[in-house]
Structure 1
Amino acid sequence: MKKELAGTMAVLATALLLTSCAVKTAPDAAAAAELASVPGFDLEDGTIHVGQMTALSGPVAPTAGEQVVGQQAYWDYVNAEGGIAGKYPVEVITADNQYNPQLAVQEYQKIKDQIVMLSGILGDASVEALLPILEQDGAVAVPSTQSARFAHYANLAPTFQSYQTNVWNTLSYLAGEGKLDEDSIVCGMVQADQSGQARLDAIEFGAEKLGFTVGEPAEFAPVDAAFTGQVQALKSENCDVVVFGGAANNTPNVIAAATQLDFEPTWITEFFAMSDSFRESPIAGYLQDHVLITGMAGNLDDTSIPGLAELTELIAPTKVTMQHVYGFMQGMATAAILEKAVELGDLSGPGIQEAINQIDEVDFMGLNGPVKWGPVDDRLLPDTTSIFAYDPAAQYGLRNLEVGYVAPEGRGEGF
């Protein structure tokens, strides 16, 4: 981190300090207690170690690497202020799951005795594979995923709005803009897994609220490289809107197939289906004309948003991407937990679980709506979605249409 950040960070210290406005705790939270050494934290050394499970190699490595940078930027901030509670610096041990759940299990076994918690697990399948092991170990993780099904586990600290919320909010937005009505056909092009089902559930909910017709979905595997069959099926369904549940490695081939087949619906997808490299690629024009993207914050160069102002300064001269924002928020969520665990005097797995139970709400400096934690059954994911058009001239190719949009028709149950 650059030396000249000290002055800027001091100006924002009050807004950023996790023990102030970013975290609201239960009124009966315990007083500060004395810490003891646990795996991942030696009291004599004073350094807290967390683990990040992500794809350092494999098809999603380029964008996953941006999440790593974003999370590290937040730890740079925390450590520049002295660390958690002003005196315990944080170090990240990063493991490579290659977006593969079997490798996630292997890598976790290698690092679990070196960390107090996982500050990220990339991929629904990896979270699913690790969850029973986390429960057995009494360990905690921040899932790097948007699956609502992970909202109510004592061993998980969900941070982001769900796939369902993003899909539903964007369908509602399109209806409000007069681009979706009872004559429309909405389809899903999703992975054949629970993340895909989450998106399909949101389409069904949207049909109940808005009256459109639901078309037959098309499915694919994360490593698929050819999508002509799926796109042809969607075209045969006469889909006006397609909800796409893929990653950036899938997007160019999906768009190539759509272009070849002259298929031009409105596509809805999350930011992780985008890459900065698309701005100068042959697919940029199609993305600009036909794709809406969901994410957090607003325009990524809008430093009036406190979180973007700080992140921009921390990683300069690198331009902020939405993946950086995602990682930055993971760091914020993890730091909030560690602050409370230190206050309670227990950095063990059960102690960290209790810390989450005692945190009512965490906000994210304008980057997203708040997440509500507290007791497991009371937890509630953010209900906001920032909606973007694709614009090659905009930072990361994202031009904001709505910041923190919430469907006026109401929130879906379990979203």
Structure 2
Amino acid sequence: MTSSTPQHPSRRTMSRTSTWLAVAAATSLTLSACGGQSTSQSSQDGIKTGAGFDGKTITIGILNPTSGPIGAGAGLPVLEGLQYRIDRVNAAGGIAGKYKVKLKVTDTKYDPETALKAYNGMAGDVAMIGSVLGTGVVQAMIPKLAADDILAIPTTDDAAFVDEPNLLPTRPTYQASFINGLSHLSGEPGGKDLTYCTLRQDDASGEAYKAGIDFGAKELGITIAEDVSFPTDTTDFTAQVQRLKRANCDVVSWAAAASFAQGVISSSVQLDFAPKWLSLASGVPLFLMGSPSQDYIAANFLVSTPGAQWGDESVEGMKQLVADFKEFGKADEKPDAALWPVGYDYGIAITTLLEKAVDEGEVSPAKILEISQSPDLSIDFLGLTPTFTYGPPADRTPPTAVSIFSIDPNTVGFLKTVAADVDSDAAKKFGTK
């Protein structure tokens, strides 16, 4: 994609984003070539301290892209949602009412090598990694995390990461979300007679999406008539859209990041191609709402993701996120109803782990990692995502249920619930393949 890709409207007005970007830029200038952990050295109020905890403040690392189209389309929205949860906890005094939480953000540029350098530059200064975005980036990070006995929350819901000891997944897998979306569409009247296709980015994330789509199609008794991929440096999608149109695709699983959507939509409009696009939260281009692409998105996109409609106060997590946005956000911001809840989930997971670490008398990377693998670990996501069954990594069971959302320009946050608690035997059967 070119640099002309629009930024999220909310991101253009955020003073907080400017701070994150400045910190990320400064950090990138001082990355060291050595990682590793410092050991527990002292105590504060009887709490043993380790890397990332000086007795007063707990520092959490963030390895997200904060620049470029994927930074605007995913890295920053997730980070903002996470920050709202941290703001809530800090406003109440911090972890256990007294230890403030600080985020140390470094721009990975969605590149594994850059991410590894960024991690090496912060490893001795953080208690855990609160977000690392990108399937390929996470894959590259795993050996380093294992060597350093440190935990990371993957900002990727690939089923392959569910049982990784140094990762703590929080949500239904990508694969389950696509399977349940296909189950919803194929289960509607005439749904089995539609022509199903896939358009995916040609990288590790695209392969993860494809695994779920192909498995789901087989289990649901539908056929993927055309599977089209594109390199991640693609800017003109005419050839890909032409292939989909020639295949008479009625439904296209959009297995790619939202940052690529503008080019695809432009080509689709030019070629008069208007299938139903099935997207995950990370793929829906809400930042294009208010642009000339708005009508096309509203007419043709469906989103399969866990969560609730923005402002649904029957869901406690949404109620708290909306309240935090009102207290800590800017009045002229537009909420990102797709990705702020994702980041908020991560914030809940982080602060739950830190509370448990304080309760057990030690805040260090090794202790947090130990807690993440405990058979007693339970995290209440307040209804923003279904309950994840934790415990020893090999025994983890991810949830599978999602909600289906349409895109409505008149709904705050643009996501409007079509169906809630959508689940299928096919999604459950996929598990963590």
Report TM bin, short chain.
0.7 to 0.9
Q: Which residue of 2 aligns with 1:354?
A: 370
Q: Between 236-245 and 364-373, report the one with greater CA deviation.
A: 236-245
Instruction: Quote the offset at 1:75 in angstroms.
Output: 0.9
SS in structure 2 of the partner of residue 67 of structure 1: helix
Alignment pair present for 1:384 and 2:401: yes
Q: Deviations over 1:173-229 (max 9, x none)?
A: 112222520x33322111222322222222222233321112231112333211111
CA contact (8 A) 2:254 2:279 kept: yes
Q: Which residue of 1 aligns with 2:91?
A: 80
Alpha-carbon separation, structure 1, partners of 2:156 and 2:311: 24
Q: Which residue of 1 aligns with 2:144?
A: 133
Q: Which residue of 1 aligns with 2:392?
A: 375
Instruction: Quote the offset at 1:261 in angstroms.
Output: 1.8
Q: Between 403-412 and 97-106, report the one with greater CA deviation.
A: 403-412
Q: Which residue of 1 aligns with 2:234?
A: 224
Across the two proteins, how many residue pairs are aligned to each other? 380
Return 5+ residue gaps in structure 1 as ranges: 1-32
Q: Deviations over 1:292-345 (max 9, x none)?
A: 112332221222321111111112234432221111111111112222222233
Alpha-carbon separation, structure 2, partners of 1:206 and 1:142: 26
Alpha-carbon separation, structure 1, partners of 2:216 and 2:431: 14
Superposed CA RMSD in Å reads 1.9
Letter in 1 for 2:232: P
2:123 to 88, 112, 116: 112
1:86 to 1:179, Cα distance in 2 relative to 1, 3 A: farther
1:300 to 288, 306, 310: 310
Alpha-carbon separation, structure 2, partners of 1:117 and 1:315: 25
Q: Which residue of 2 aligns with 1:8?
A: none
CA contact (8 A) 1:58 1:99 kept: no
2:53 to 18, 41, 54: 41
1:295 to 1:395, Cα distance in 2 relative to 1, 3 A: farther
2:169 to 158, 181, 205: 158
Q: Which residue of 1 aligns with 2:335?
A: 320
Alpha-carbon separation, structure 1, partners of 2:100 and 2:207: 40
CA contact (8 A) 1:56 1:65 kept: yes
Q: Which residue of 2 aligns with 1:236?
A: 246
Q: Deviations over 1:83-109 (max 9, x none)?
A: 222332211111111222221111111
CA contact (8 A) 2:348 2:381 kept: yes
Q: Deviations over 1:123-175 (max 9, x none)?
A: 11211111111111111100111111111111000112111111111111112
Alpha-carbon separation, structure 2, partners of 1:275 and 1:65: 14
1:69 to 1:146, Cα distance in 2 relative to 1, 3 A: same
1:377 to 1:292, Cα distance in 2 relative to 1, 3 A: same
Q: How does 1:21-60 map to 2 (within 5 A)?
A: 35-43=47-55, 46-60=56-70
SS in structure 2 of the partner of residue 217 of structure 1: strand
Instruction: Quote the offset at 1:410 in angstroms.
Output: 5.6
1:191 to 1:84, Cα distance in 2 relative to 1, 3 A: same
Give the fraction of aligned pairs with identical amino acids, expressed as a percent: 34
State the 4+ residue runs in structure 1 displaced beyond 6 angstroms: none
CA contact (8 A) 1:161 1:382 kept: yes
Letter in 1 for 2:408: D
Q: Between 260-269 and 80-89, report the one with greater CA deviation.
A: 80-89
Q: Between 150-159 and 315-324, report the one with greater CA deviation.
A: 315-324
Letter in 1 for 2:84: A
Alignment pair present for 1:330 and 2:380: no
SS in structure 2 of the partner of residue 60 of structure 1: helix
TM-score by length of 1: 0.86
Q: Which residue of 2 aligns with 1:265?
A: 275
